[in-house]
Amino acid sequence: MSPARRSIKRRDWPRGLREPRPGYFAWEDDKGKIWPIGRVPLATAKAEAAAANLHIAGQAVTLVQRMADGAGGTVADLLGKMPSANKINTAKSLRSLDKQIQAALGTKHAGNLTVADCARLIESVADEGKARSAEALRSRLVAVCRRGMSLGWMDSNPAEATEKPRVTVKRGRLTLEAFRAIYRCAPDVAEWLQHAMMLALVSGQDRSTVAAMERSHVANGILTTWRTKTRDSNQPIAIPLALRMDVVDTSLAQLVSHRTGVVSRYLVHHVNPWGNAPAGSSVHPDRISHAFTEARRLAGIPDVGTDGKGAPTFHEIRSLSKRLYEAQGNVDTKALMGHATDRMGALYADPRGVEAILVRVG
């Protein structure tokens, strides 16, 4: 279908000028966003729209500019020069960030990128209440500009001069008391949920790793597992079945030997059919999270606590595991959690105010 013909009355109107109501004008940019001009004379509206079109056209890098600036290309060209990530999840995250950068700054010449350009983009994301996303976007901009410097396209790194977004932790930590309350309600939600919770607590692993654990991964007194963030790097974690969490009086060997009466290759599996998932099939990580949330609500733990923080998720079992083993004192939690740095280990060990700080004596 061919587009509607422009009326003779509006044939001299600048591109994007609109009159949604008689006498009221607005301008539509290339992305479809409507910018109000207001109730003004037609001549004024035309001038405003023409100025906006000139501004947009001026952002494109011309051949003369490229000749004057010497070597290098646009920010979009620079994004195309970035090395690819080896890990699937990391690559997916970077593609999303690059898409934002390209939409906002792609046509700008890399050598002309300013601190203000980077700051406007970062703050626009932070202003939407997405502090974590803004933080990730800033880190990506810093890396992109660093690549631009290494190629000789940029003389400095304007992204480094921007202010780091302030990230406030919004999710509350899980206490042992809350874990036990949710654990008691778990059978009312799913037959496998108690086992998944205890396996996560004793093994210290996240929901995706717990969901992927198979009986074939157990051999010679060792459970070998791979975290989703490290499996691409072929870095398994070997956990002795003798691992025991004293406070819940449970060992990994007990959990691995647990049987439901249903034949399955997975340690955590559906006992009864669930939708399209037959009995014995693995439980999807999202289903684990949703079931945990249902049990948490049954336990009377609200979605938002008195401190304003959101309720703990299944992933918080991992932090609780580390804190309990740290108190127990005989487990290498850094190796168990698969943390590459002490900083990451400290992040998980932080109780975020839900537990008193223990003064160790002797």
Alpha carbons 51 and 32: distance in angstroms, whole number? 17
CA 232 from chain centre, in angstroms, equals 18
Q: What is the pLDDT of residue 333?
A: 86
- pLDDT at residue 133 tops 60: yes
Alpha carbons 293 and 186: distance in angstroms, whole number? 10
Q: Is 170 helix (H, G, I), strand (E, B) or coil?
A: coil
243-292: per-residue pLDDT in tens?
Answer: 999 999 999 999 999 998 899 999 999 999 998 999 999 999 999 999 99
As given in the structure block, the two tokens for residue 187 are 């059978």
Locate the domains of the chain by residue range.
15-59, 65-161, 176-349
Q: What is the pLDDT of residue 140?
A: 95
Record: fold of 176-349? hpI Integrase; Chain A (1.10.443)
Superfamily of domain 65-161: Tyrosine recombinase, N-terminal domain (1.10.150.130)
60-81: per-residue pLDDT in tens?
Answer: 555 555 554 445 689 999 999 9
Cα 110 to Cα 83, 121, 191, 358: the distances in Å are: 17, 15, 56, 52
Alpha carbons 105 and 73: distance in angstroms, whole number? 12
CATH of domain 15-59: 3.30.160
Query: Would you place residue 348 in the very low, low, confident or very high pLDDT band (cuts 50, 70, 90)?
Result: very low
Would you say the C-alpha torsion 196, 202, 205, 206 has a positive or negative sign? positive
Q: Which of 189, 205, 243 is nearest to 348 (CA)?
A: 205
180-235: per-residue pLDDT in tens?
Answer: 999 999 999 999 999 999 999 999 999 999 999 999 999 999 999 887 654 444 57
Core vs surface per residue 256-287: b (16+ CB within 10 A) or e: beeebeeebebbbbbbeebeeeebbbbbbbeb
Question: How many alpha carbons fall within 13 Å on the CB side of residue 124?
Answer: 10
- Direct distance between the N- and C-terminal alpha carbons of the chain, in angstroms, rounded to an integer: 83
